Amino acid sequence: MKTLKERQDELVEEFSMFDDWLDKYEYLIDLGKNLEPFPEELKTDDRLIKGCQSRVWLDAEAKDGAIVFRADSDAIITKGIISMLISVYSGRRAEEIAGDDFSFVDRLGLKENLSPTRANGLVSMLETIRNIAQNNR
Amino acid sequence: MDVQELRKEFTQLDEKVYGKPLVYLDNAATSLRPRGVVSKWVELSERYSANIHRAVHHISSIATEEYEHARETVAAYLNVSPGEVVFTSGTTASVNLAAFSFGEAFVGEGDEIIVSESEHHSDLVPWQMMCERKRAVLKVLEVDEEGRLRIDELGSMISRRTKLVCVTHVSNVLGLVNPIKAIAEICHSHGCRLLVDGAQGAVHGHPDLKDLDCDFYAFSGHKMYAAPGTGVLYGKKELLDAMPPYMGGGEMVGSVKWSGTTYAPVPLKFEAGTQNFAGAPTMVPAIRMLELMEDAEIERNIDEITAYLLEELPKIPGLRLYGIPGEAYGQDFRKIPLFSFSVEHCHHEDLALILDKMGIALRSGQMCAEPLMDRFGVTGMLRASFAPYNTMEETGYFLSSLKKAIKMLEA
Ligand SMILES: Cc1ncc(COP(=O)(O)O)c(C=O)c1O
């Protein structure tokens, strides 16, 4: 498994290859579509991430000392974004996630290019992941 | 006057977003401001900043004249008298004022207020709050599948306890013009009052409030080309006179003693504190602009856009348009150039996000009308709302971009 830093750098590089925002969206849409199916029964209110315009569910499960994340959203670009975050954080130990400064998102240039509500959603997603990690330490 | 000439008055139309020309289709949220409005605003800020109605000095009297001239202009435009025009900070403030003061004067426990299902939260939550305070009952007048208001049901809904009916002139989601005159007749013949949310209605068409005969009419300046933070509550004189003030403070008083306070006559009774003296006078150039837009060529352009989209949008597979014009309940429900829709398998937010990157500004979400979203079983919609300065070319670009965005999401 790549280190957290390696995976983040890899993503930042992949993302920087597109110079047009529509291409970045195409990429996120692809990620969203390829996200592993999320069980319907997990779509409960306590798994909803607050602060997003669209609905985003995040499920976290402790497995062999690591946290496995699964997620879904009714909006595909949001789904792509949460899928990206999962690909970075899922399967890692709580200490490692909680210790991250989450600054790779700034390097992606995502926040300033999303509408304010969407950017808020992204911030909420990161906070939720961080909180889960801290509570599982 | 042609559209290109009109566009020169709205400087923001020259903006670029992400290197693409801005196509502004969020006019129902707020309109753009013409040069005349901006220059009036600047003039008042640069030259005539002074508190109104208070000081005797020269600049203050100019500022007061500008403010009162705006009231006269608004009154003349609406065909009412200046004493019936209360300046507020916008529709929301107007409705809250009406809800509080009307409630205090006329509503008691067990009384009823009727609101339509298509109301913006601004013409809904204040009534819920007031009904809670007064232990009154809030009843809902529904819309049908086409989005047309069930005015056939209104008469039988009104009881002896009904004090007020609140409907929007034009819903910010459905874009259908409600038959206010007919609704006012029903209300009055059953002995209750009518408040109209004119936030969209004041912009599309020229409301003659004497003719419509509603008892209250609320609207915002920023949607009709004037400065943000301006607005109006029109109320019939005898009602405003009978209603207690909403806020207490400077300027709304006659005399203040420890033994008690008397209030200024309407409309000043409802204008407590320092008013938006730089903003309110921009209603004058804004109304000039509205009158300028009452032009055959300008109207033909916007009518063509409306007809074209009514024809083309439903052809897109999976697209559902909300608010279908036509005859119902003996009335003609006309459509303003405002189109809310959903597309099967495409989330409204995804579409809005992609269209934004194509330079198109439009609205997505619940549009401050959650009960209406529930009515149609959706979590949100996408809305394109046009103004007379929008062109057929922009309309075509919007349509082709929408189709492209849908493809991107489907692929
Ligand atoms: C129909 C309708 N009513 C009320 C409002 C509220 O207006 P404002 O936010 O200017 O007070 C709006 C605009 O958002 C509207 O479209």
Please give the structure tokens belonging to residue B318.
């999976």
What is the distance between the alpha carbons of residues B217 and B185, in angstroms, rounded to a whole number? Answer: 15
Phi/psi for A102 (5° steps) reads 60, 20
Q: Radius of gyration of chain A from Cα atoms?
A: 14
Instruction: Name the 3-class secondary structure at B36.
Output: helix
Query: Looking at beta carbons, which residues of chain A come within 8 Å of B19?
Result: none
Taking any CB pair shorter than 8 Å as contact, residues of chain B touching chain A are 18, 347, 349-350, 352-354, 356-358, 364-365, 379-380, 408-409, 411
pLDDT digits (tens, 9 = 90+) for B58-75: 999 999 999 999 999 999
Q: Is the pLDDT of residue A120 over 90?
A: no
Cα B368 to averaged position of ligand 1 atoms, centre (Å) = 9
Catalytic residue among A31, A49, A52, A84: A52
Position B342 scores a pLDDT of 98
CB contact under 8 Å between A75 and B356, yes or no, is no
- Domains belonging to chain B, first-starting first, are 3-32+295-410 (3.90.1150.10), 39-287 (3.40.640.10)
Which residue ranges make up each domain of chain A?
4-135
- Counting ligand 1 atoms within 8 A of each CB, the residue from B26, B30, B88, B91 with the most, and so the one to mutate, is B91
Position A137 scores a pLDDT of 79
pLDDT digits (tens, 9 = 90+) for A36-89: 999 999 999 999 988 777 889 999 999 888 999 999 999 999 999 999 999 999
Q: How confident is the model at residue B268 (pLDDT cuts 50, 70, 90)?
A: very high
Phi/psi for A84 (5° steps) reads -60, -45
What is the distance between the alpha carbons of residues B283 and B40, in angstroms, rounded to a whole number? Answer: 9
- Counting ligand 1 atoms within 8 A of each CB, the residue from B26, B88, B92, B169 with the most, and so the one to mutate, is B92
Q: Which amino acid is at B346?
A: C
In Å, how far are A134, B1, B210 from A64, measured between CA atoms?
Answer: 17, 73, 75
Helix (H), strand (E) at residue B120: none
Predicted TM-score of the model (pTM): 0.94
Q: Is the pLDDT of residue A116 over 70?
A: no
Please state the rounded mean pLDDT for residues B191-219.
Answer: 97
Size of interface A-B (CB pairs under 8 A): 45
| Minimal C-alpha gap between B253 and chain A (Å) | 43
Q: Look-up: residue for tokens 């003609």?
A: B332
Helix, strand counts (H, E) of chain A: 6, 3
pLDDT digits (tens, 9 = 90+) for A91-103: 999 999 999 988 8
Q: Which CATH architecture has domain A4-135?
A: Alpha-Beta Complex (3.90)
What is the distance between the alpha carbons of residues B61 and B53, in angstroms, rounded to a whole number? Answer: 8
The helix, strand and coil proportions of chain B, stated in percent and rounded to the nearest 5, come to 40, 20, 40
CB contact under 8 Å between B354 and A22, yes or no, is yes
Instruction: Give the ipTM of the model, two decimals please.
Output: 0.86
The reply to whether ligand 1 has any atom less than 6 angstroms from the CB of B220 is yes
